[in-house]
């Protein structure tokens, strides 16, 4: 009789252990699925690479600022920007020498990227200027 009682206790302990293992496996699977969903959302979300659009136009130059209008969009070039001089040398900042001072109109090629602010405002940001003709 004692043997049957011990066997019954062992059977119920194995059943409890089996439920714990199943519960742990279910929790691990749910966590893994949540991590996968989060990773895929991150990869597809706002952290994607946005290509640079290359445009050309005539810059109307002011005091360390210039405006280029292309296809109905006006692009602002201000202050400290990456630029390429007429020899093809890239400068990591400063005012492009080819733009000079106020009152000039200069042909330029430039790169722009679309930007969306947290509030939803959008614009096209000039990220580099090339002065080669």
pLDDT in tens, 7-46: 455 566 666 667 777 776 667 666 665 545 555 445 445 5
The answer on 87 and 23 residing in a single domain is no
The answer on 110 and 59 residing in a single domain is yes
Sheet of strand 82-84, all strands in order from the earlier edge strand to the far edge:
73-78, 65-70, 53-61, 105-116, 122-130, 82-84, 90-91
Other CB atoms within 10 Å distance of the CB of residue 57 = 18
At 97, is the secondary structure helix, strand, or coil?
helix
For residue 25 the two structure tokens come to 């496996």
Q: How far is CA 22 from the centre of its chain?
A: 40
The answer on 39 and 57 residing in a single domain is no
pTM above 0.75, yes or no: no
Find the domain containing 2 and state its range. 1-48
The answer on 114 and 91 residing in a single domain is yes
The answer on 113 and 57 residing in a single domain is yes
Average pLDDT over residues 49-55: 86
The answer on 65 and 23 residing in a single domain is no
d(CA 52, CA 92): 17
Domain count, the chain: 2
Q: 117 pLDDT band (50/70/90 cuts)?
A: very high
| Domain termination residue (choose one: 11, 27, 48) | 48
The answer on 68 and 32 residing in a single domain is no
């Amino acid at each position: 009789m004692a043997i049957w009682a011990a066997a019954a206790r062992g059977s119920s302990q194995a059943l409890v252990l089996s439920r714990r293992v199943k519960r742990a496996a279910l929790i691990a699977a749910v966590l893994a699925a949540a991590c996968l969903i989060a990773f895929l959302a991150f990869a597809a979300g706002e952290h994607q690479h946005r290509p640079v659009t290359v445009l050309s136009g005539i810059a109307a130059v002011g005091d360390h600022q210039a405006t280029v209008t292309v296809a109905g969009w006006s692009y602002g070039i201000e202050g400290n920007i990456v630029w390429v001089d007429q020899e093809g040398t890239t400068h990591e900042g400063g005012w492009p020498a080819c733009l000079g001072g106020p009152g000039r109109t200069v042909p330029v090629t430039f790169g722009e990227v679309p930007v969306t602010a947290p509030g939803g405002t959008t614009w096209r940001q000039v990220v580099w200027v090339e002065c080669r003709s």
